[in-house]
Amino acid sequence: MKRRNVCFGVVFAAILGSSLPPLPAQAQGKYPERAIRLVVPFPPGGGTDIMGRRLGAKLAVLLGQQVVIDNKTGANGSIGTAEVARAKPDGYTLLMGTTSTHSINPLTLTLEQRLYDPVKDFVHIALLGTSPFSVVVHPSVAGSLQELIKRVRASPGKYSYGSSGTGGSTHLAGELFKKLAGDLDIVHVPYRGSAQSILDLAGGQIPIVMSGFSSVIPFHRSGKVRILAAFNEKRVRFAPDIPTAIELGVKGMVAYTFNGFFAPAATPEPIIDQLSRATVKVMADGAFQKELEDLGIDAVTDSNPERANQFIKDELAKWAPIVKATGLAAQ
């Protein structure tokens, strides 16, 4: 699948209007006739929230109606995601989904705990982009991944790492890292979203955080935190100075997060087609890509509902054995 590096930056609809003209009237039809609610199932300030707000501002210009961001948090994204799954399928309630909501949660929750089916309960409008996870430390903790591993091995149980929540994608990435790096003894500290964990890391309240590039790279570039390694198969093009965990000796350490755009199942096909066309136009806009580059997202510029649906199925198949191996699988 063709991808291009992009990142998230601050943008206002007034500015966006100069770069993205509205869709032709005949393409819009009678939809939308009022504001659209875009549910972000995580707290404000994290990577998914940033992406949702930037995408929403762009879509508002193209569709000619306001896109209102609604942060519905809880249960590692499951609460807001389930609300969209149950919403009226009329195109006015949409979702910013992630690895947690559509890959990890369904694998780590029992059937009784699951509030939705990630495939059957949604129409997958588009895959928006991916971002590798990374191991990040306060600058005082370690200068390299090798140094961190050495310190942790010398003091089992002394160090802790923060994640965006128990059973979430960064928690899973952290447990996989511990296992592949030699069964490291690092205590997991769950947060409610990535934003607070990164702030605590920058402030020295926690020594290590597992995070996606989109949330942490501004702090890395300002010197407040240090990304030791990317959990990617190869170095990230927009951050070539950051090595991968694989090249530093942690074989097989590949884990990334994705952002997707979803609607409730049974949403009419003409509405999905209109949203898909608008989303592709947003992701192909050079100005948007330039704004987003600093936050480290590898954007998907040619997604469509069929490809997005297959991507979700592939992700579920990929993560299932990893979840089982790390002991997080539902019993």
3-state secondary structure 55-79: HHHHHHHHHCCCEEEEECCCHHHHH
Q: Which residues, in sequence order, are CB contacts of 261 under 8 Å at separation 6+?
A: 55, 94, 95, 96, 97, 124, 125, 126, 127, 128, 275, 279, 308
Q: Which residues, in sequence order, are CB contacts of 110 under 8 Å at separation 6+?
A: 330, 331
Q: Do 51 and 22 share a structural domain?
A: yes
Q: Do 61 and 119 share a structural domain?
A: yes
87, part of any domain:
yes
Helix/strand/coil for 244: strand
Q: Take residue 72 and report the two structure tokens written for it.
A: 């519905």
Q: Do 180 and 33 share a structural domain?
A: no
Q: Do 193 and 101 share a structural domain?
A: no
Q: Do 110 and 138 share a structural domain?
A: no
Which domain range does residue 215 map to? Answer: 132-230
| Counted domains in the chain | 2
245, part of any domain:
no
Q: Do 203 and 276 share a structural domain?
A: no
Q: Do 127 and 9 share a structural domain?
A: yes
Q: Do 9 and 96 share a structural domain?
A: yes
Q: Do 212 and 136 share a structural domain?
A: yes
Q: Do 174 and 71 share a structural domain?
A: no
Can you give the pLDDT of all 331 residues of the chain as single tens digits? 444 433 333 333 433 444 555 554 434 458 999 999 999 999 998 878 988 999 999 999 999 999 999 999 998 899 999 999 999 999 999 999 998 899 988 998 888 889 999 999 999 999 998 889 999 999 999 999 999 999 999 999 999 999 988 877 888 899 999 999 999 999 999 998 888 999 999 999 999 999 988 789 889 999 999 999 999 988 887 789 999 999 999 999 999 889 999 999 999 999 999 999 999 999 999 887 777 776 678 788 889 999 999 999 999 998 888 888 777 776 5
Q: Do 204 and 151 share a structural domain?
A: yes
Q: Do 220 and 156 share a structural domain?
A: yes
226, part of any domain:
yes
Sign of the torsion formed by the C-alpha atoms of 87, 92, 93 and 95? positive
This model's pTM is above 0.75:
no
Q: Domain ends where: 195, 230, 265?
A: 230
249, part of any domain:
no
